[in-house]
Structure formats: structure tokens, C-alpha cells
Structure 1
Amino acid sequence: MKNIEVKNNKLRGVVKVPPSKSMAHRAIICAALGRGISVVENIDYSDDINATIDGMISLGAIIEKDNDKLTIKGAFHNESNKDTVRVIDCNESGSTLRFLVPIALLFSGMTKFIGRGNLGKRPLDTYYDIFKEQGIKYSNLDGKLNLLVKGSLSNGDYTLPGNISSQFITGLLFTLPLLEGDSKIIITTELESKGYIDLTLSCMKDFGIVIENKDYKEFIIKGNQNYISRNYRVEGDYSQGAFYLSANALGSEVEIVDLREDSLQGDKEAIDILERMGVRFNYGNKLSCEAPKELVSTLIDASQCPDIIPVISLVAALAKGRTEIINAGRLRIKECDRLKAVATELNKLGAKIEEKEEGLVIDGVNELEGGIEVWSWKDHRIAMTLAIAATRCKKPISIKDYDCVAKSYPKFFEDYKKLGGIVNEWSMGE
């Protein structure tokens, strides 16, 4: 168990946000499905990204690391990869698991997916239904990831509800263009997390795959396509930038490098939400913002931007009036139950947050107290949210299990200190 004491100090300076984890997953996969050699630049080796790198290596890709650059030779070069039992360790990465399950069915032999933490509790029924329909062999353990799959996906029509995780749709989008015949994905209800699908389609297009998006209701997919190897740079991550944007809304003065104004990332919604709360933004060489004298409450729909909700909830906790966060039920099956975690830990600090089944009701307070120990729930986004909360606490706080930030942003506390954050780390033993 590792603890970190964070003192109540505002952040100031310039920070380059990590590359987009969402885009890095996608670029690595697209490059590894190509027939040639690609170079993917601006990579941050978080636990999740390492899981996807290792997963594509297990499928036959050759991937070499050189600082923040990957040289990737596509998986299909490896004829010796046939008729083997390969293991893909997803660690705690839901993206790695759900993206690679259908991709693994492009290769003969059996694939075993393992993982840890809460990953085994993340539902996979969408894929199981497809496997049953198509006669694909699979087995798994309830509550613990130990998934075995063997078989081949068939081209054709795939009918899915829109309220499932977009990760299932992305996994199929990656895979279906490589089948011999044409396919179609039909979405039967309003599609949630459209922004993530936009990222998938954008990255696939950059690597030569064309898919027709008919208003997110149907995706028309020609078969016999090929991923074209290329050089690619991963853009900065709005889900990580949201921590600094939120810190600025609460009085810090951080200029942020590498966030594109024209980004398709769904988590760019953080800008719109904070603007409604009174923050003014200025894009230039660096993204800066001006906080209002008093933040105001707003209604927040979490359906398209679930990853930014923990830290946006913190901002809402210090805004005047009542903020409601709706359509956030999916946060209960992330690395932890994030709705419960946010309410529990921020309330310890003096916030007034009420849990609802699908969201939160937040009554703003003027200041947070601090002076106590809070817990990350071993969830990277909760740990970083609590570190930003410390900037508005009257007293320092201690964050238990802070090192889980390695899942997505290993250098978070290093950057935090460079911006003037005052931290003291220690280990409590196991």
C-alpha cells in the first residue's frame, strides 16, 4: 500500500498532457493489423497501453520501443503464429480486452485472455451472444477473467443495442473489414459514446480502412480491405487534460500543451461543461483558461464522456447551486464503482454529493476541509481527482493507493510536482 500526502497548494506553469490513451490503443492496433511496417509516435507507456502492445505481439506483430516511438511490423507476417494457444494479458484494460477479442478470431488456434482487478466483472455478453449464434467456441470463469476463444467470425449483419459499451462496436469495426465478405453493424437504439466511435473510424481511415457511417444507426463495411502501414502521431489526451482544466476552474493557472481544438475525442466535452459553469478558454500554442469569481451549476449528461465525470464532479462540488449528473450508470462498472467512489471520498472532504442509481446530485460548497485520509479505490481517475481536490482543501490530505495512476498516466505526480504541487510519498507495506 502506498500513500501520498498532498498539500493544499495551487498549480501553476506549463504541462504537456500525455498522448491520448484512446487514440494510442487504436493506432497500435491498426498498425499491427497492417501488412508492412508502421511508426507510431508520441506513446506513453501506461499499463493499459503496454497491455495492448503485448496483446498485439501475442497475435504475431513485432513491436519495438524507442523512447516514445513504436516501430510495428504487422501481425499477419507471422505464419508460425497458426494453430497455437496464445495468451493475452489485458491487465486491467477493458479496451484491450474488448478490442482484441474479435481481432483474435482473425487468427487460427486458441486465444486465452487473462486480466486482474475488476476486469473479470466487466460484461462480455455482447460477444458471447455472437459466439453462440456463430458457433464460436468460448469459455470463461464468472467474476474472474480467464476467457478462451477459438473460431472465426463470419461476415454479415450484426445487430447491437446502442447502450452497450462502444468498445464492443470498435472491436467489430476493427475486425469485419478483414473478412472476405461485406458486413453491416445495425444499432437498434440511440448510440452512447459516439465520440469513441468517431475516434475509431478516424484512425481506421488514416490506416486505409473505409467504413460508411449512416448516422450512427448503421455501419456499412466492405470486406477484403487492408490496413495500410504508415507513420502516425498520437494527439494529446483530453481525458487527462481534464484534470488540469478542472484545476484551473478551481483557481490554478496551468497552460496545457498538445490538446487539439479540432479533436474528435468525446472527452473534449470537458471544455463545454466548464464553459457552462463560467470558465473561459483560449486556444493558442497552449490552452489556457480564466476561472470566474464564482462557478455556477449545470446539468451534465455523462453518456458521451464517462471518463471525465470524476474530476468534473469535483468542480461541481465547488460550484454555486445544484448540479445533476445523469446517464452515468456505466461508471459503476469501471475500475471501481466510480459514482460511489466519488461521492464517498469527496464527501469525506466536505462536499455534498448524493448518489443516484444512474448519476449524482451535487450541492455546491464554498471550500473543502481536508486534513484526513482518502482512498483512490485503486482507480487512476479517482486518485488524480483527489490530487486536484487537494488544491481547494483547507488542510493537506493523504491519498491511499495513489500509485494506481500508472494505469493511464504514470508521470502524473511528477508533473503535479513540476507545477508546484507539494507531495510527500511513503509506503505503508502490504
Structure 2
Amino acid sequence: MGNMKLHPSKLMGEVKIPPSKSIAHRAVICSALSKTNKFLKLNLSDDLIATSEGMQTLREGGKVVIDCNESGSTLRFLIPISLVLGNGGRFLGRGNLGKRPLTPFYPIFDQCNIQYEECSNDSLDFRVNGKLISGNYSISGDISSQFISGLFFALPLLSGDSTLTITTPLESKGYLDLTRSVMDEFGVKIEKKENQLYYIKGNQSYQNQNYEIEGDYSQAAFFLCANSLGSNIKIANLKSNSLQGDKAVLELLSKIKEQNTSSLITIDGSQCPDIIPVIALVAALQEGKKTEIIHAQRLRLKECDRISAVTQELNKLGANIKEIADGFYIEGVAQLQGGTEVWSHKDHRIAMMLSIAATVCKNPIILQDYECVSKSYPDFFKDYLQLGGIASEWSMG
């Protein structure tokens, strides 16, 4: 992969953020599950290509082999659907996807006599065979809400009614609300009962819609954080009353800016893990302020160990960050020095975070393996340059 030389620069102008990846995954699935042959047309990132092609494979039937690439959403959403539209299949993937757990599904698979096998290698090779049936199910919610969303998509297609009880505190609750909201737009309803019990009526059918997808707060977070560090970017297509969990970036930036230098600010990363790397960057540049980010242990199971990667790379640039088990302890500095090479760890969110860091460094930096941004935001550097970012491909030779 390539290297990019990034110079200090103030970003200015207007940018149109790509459609929300979280909503797009859900809308593509709902559209594909409708009875028409119409698929949503999107400017697709690598993750959305995986979901779109996976749903096409499931609709075609026959022997099902789905390449999830590095997309956890694709994997966890499509497994239950494969057990309703067919008899399961084989799910392949790369990067860290094989290390990301599927264990919350297993008690439900056992209850339905569904066979499953996880091949023991670094990449993903998961095989599942059987039929999901309607029933009363329980599932843990403290690893990811994606497992629950996957069941939400699949269970309404069965002939009988089902219930789903979440047995632990729910991680990323906002994403579950997002799933129900998109499904509702396509005519399928999940009814929330008391506490963490959901009622899923069977024999429902998805009705295709001309569905418009709002801008992505998880991608906008990089430019919103750049604004917090001195840039002046107008973001054109964010929905103010969005259900996206990563809208929390606005609240967190306000909290950091209003913090008193004599107190320790604590940020809970459990509900919005994807924006934590760039929030850590902002916290690292609050001179004289101390920030603790906790409950973000899921970052260790993403495309890379993001807790370790953020700590290593920002400290190379002159930050003062200490890695803790579930997050970071950060002492703010006045400026990042730069003047060194940093690595994306082949993780799109680390690459974009370091690109924003480059704008406020004293000296240029060289970012290794920058192309990984294609996983979620293929046009990131195009937009970055349009806003006045100074970047050029760099030969290490």
C-alpha cells in the first residue's frame, strides 16, 4: 500500500459527507429483502460493497459463499438472514474479522439445532447450516448490538411470532434504534416491550422505498474535530435530529471544550466507539487538561487494536497518552510536533484521524498505508484536498 505526505494546513470550505454507512447497510438489506428486484444505488465503500454483494448472493440462492471483506456489520447482519432465506452458508473475511466474536449467536443456534463451525485461522472462515425458527430467544448485548440487529432483520420473515430478550447492558443502543427506524420505513416493525424485551411479529414483508440516506456522523466527526482544532469547515448534509449514535461527537466536543483545567474529564466510549480515536486526538491537544476515556474496550477488536494504535501513533507526534485496559488517560499538550512517519495500521479510522492530526502538527508527517480509507470513505482525501489540505503521495525510496 502507499504512503502520503501530509503538511500542516487549515481546512476551510464546504464538504458533503457521504451517506451514513450504518444506515446504508440497513437500507441495502431492507431493500434487498423486499419483493422487487430494485437495489439502492449508492456510492459504495468497501463495507457496503460486501453487504450489497452478500445480499445479492442470498437472493440468488444455491450454494452460499459470502465474502464479508473486513465488515463486521456484513457478517453479523447476514448470518441470521442466511438461515431464513436458505440453510446458512460459508462466510469469509480478512484482516481482524476472524478475531471478532460471534459467540452471542451460539445459544440461539443451539436452540434451533443449527450447526456452526469456526475454522481456526487468522482470517474469517465461518460455516453455518440449518434453519432459524420462530421462538422466544435471549441474547447478550454487551459485545455488540449488531447481533441483535441481524436477528431483527431475519425474525419477521418467519411464519411464527418471536420474542428477543437482551440479557446484559446494551452496547451501542443507538444503533439498535437506527435498525428499527430503517425497518419501519420499509414496512417491518419491531415492538419494544418492557425493559430489554422485543416482540417480533411473523409473516411480515419488506416494501421497497425511495429511501434517502442522511450524511454520516461517524465520517463527519473527523471534520467536526478539525473545526474544534482551528479549521473552518461547513458540513452540508447532516440531520440535526438524527438517530445515529455517533452524533454524540457534538456533545463530546462541547464537553471537552468546557472542561476546567483543574478537573479530570471522563468520557464513556461504550455507545460511540467509532468516533473515539478522533475524540482522543482533540483531547490530546487540550493543553493543561486531563481526559480519561473508559468503557471503550471494543476498540481492541476493530480493524486493528485501536486503543494501542491511537496511543502509539499520536505519541509519535508528540501527544501524551497512556493506554489503559479499556481506553486512554490523556494529558493535553499545546501542539503536536510531527516530523515523523506514522502508520494507519491499515485501519480507515486511524488513517483519517492521523490526517486531521497532520493539519495541526508543527512539521509534516508521512502516513503509511493511507488507502484503507476506502473501507468507509473512499473520497476522504479528495475532500481533504478540496478543503485545503496539503497532501501528496510519497515514495519511501
- Tell me which interval the TM-score lies in, with the shorter structure as reference length: over 0.9
Q: Percent identity?
A: 57
2:68 corresponds to: 90
Alignment of 1:335 onto 2:314: no
In 1, Cα distance between equivalents of 2:2 and 2:319? 25
Query: Secondary structure at 1:91's aligned position in 2?
Result: coil
In 1, Cα distance between equivalents of 2:15 and 2:27? 24
Alignment of 1:173 onto 2:152: yes
1:235 corresponds to: 214
CA drift of 1:129 comes to 2.7
Provide, for residues 340-384 of structure 1, a one-character-per-residue CA deviation record: whole Å limited to 9, x for no partner.
000110011111111111111111000000000000000000000
In structure 2, the CA distance between the partners of 1:233 and 1:382, relative to structure 1 (3 Å rule), is same
In 1, Cα distance between equivalents of 2:40 and 2:115? 34
Query: Secondary structure at 1:85's aligned position in 2?
Result: coil
Query: Secondary structure at 2:394's aligned position in 1?
Result: strand
Please, which of 305, 317, 320 is the counterpart of residue 284 of structure 2?
317
CA drift of 1:214 comes to 2.9
1:212 corresponds to: 191
CA drift of 1:213 comes to 1.6
CA drift of 1:270 comes to 0.2
In 1, Cα distance between equivalents of 2:324 and 2:6? 30
2:367 corresponds to: 399
Alignment TM-score, normalising by the size of structure 2: 0.96
In structure 2, the CA distance between the partners of 1:229 and 1:216, relative to structure 1 (3 Å rule), is farther
In 1, Cα distance between equivalents of 2:264 and 2:253? 10
2:109 corresponds to: 131
**How many residues are paired up?**
393
For residues 130-149 of structure 1, the aligned pairs below 5 Å read 130-142=108-120, 143-149=122-128
In 1, Cα distance between equivalents of 2:159 and 2:185? 21
2:394 corresponds to: 426
In 2, Cα distance between equivalents of 1:95 and 1:116? 14
For residues 153-164 of structure 1, the aligned pairs below 5 Å read 153-164=132-143
2:20 corresponds to: 20
In 2, Cα distance between equivalents of 1:326 and 1:147? 32
Please, which of 400, 410, 413 is the counterpart of residue 381 of structure 2?
413
**Counterpart residue type for residue 27 of structure 1:** A
In 2, Cα distance between equivalents of 1:358 and 1:264? 26
Query: Secondary structure at 1:25's aligned position in 2?
Result: helix
In 1, Cα distance between equivalents of 2:194 and 2:373? 36
CA drift of 1:161 comes to 2.1
CA drift of 1:108 comes to 2.8
Alignment of 1:277 onto 2:277: no
1:108 corresponds to: 86
Please, which of 205, 217, 221 is the counterpart of residue 226 of structure 1?
205
CA drift of 1:215 comes to 5.5
**Counterpart residue type for residue 35 of structure 1:** K
In structure 2, the CA distance between the partners of 1:427 and 1:46, relative to structure 1 (3 Å rule), is farther
Provide, for residues 35-55 of structure 1, a one-character-per-residue CA deviation record: whole Å limited to 9, x for no partner.
1254635x2311000000110
**Counterpart residue type for residue 112 of structure 1:** R
**Counterpart residue type for residue 318 of structure 1:** L
In 2, Cα distance between equivalents of 1:40 and 1:262? 23
In 1, Cα distance between equivalents of 2:327 and 2:37? 45
Q: For structure 2, list consecutive stretches of 5 or more residues without a partner in the other structure.
A: none
Q: For structure 1, list consecutive stretches of 5 or more residues without a partner in the other structure.
A: 61-77, 280-291
Query: Secondary structure at 2:40's aligned position in 1?
Result: strand
Alignment TM-score, normalising by the size of structure 1: 0.88
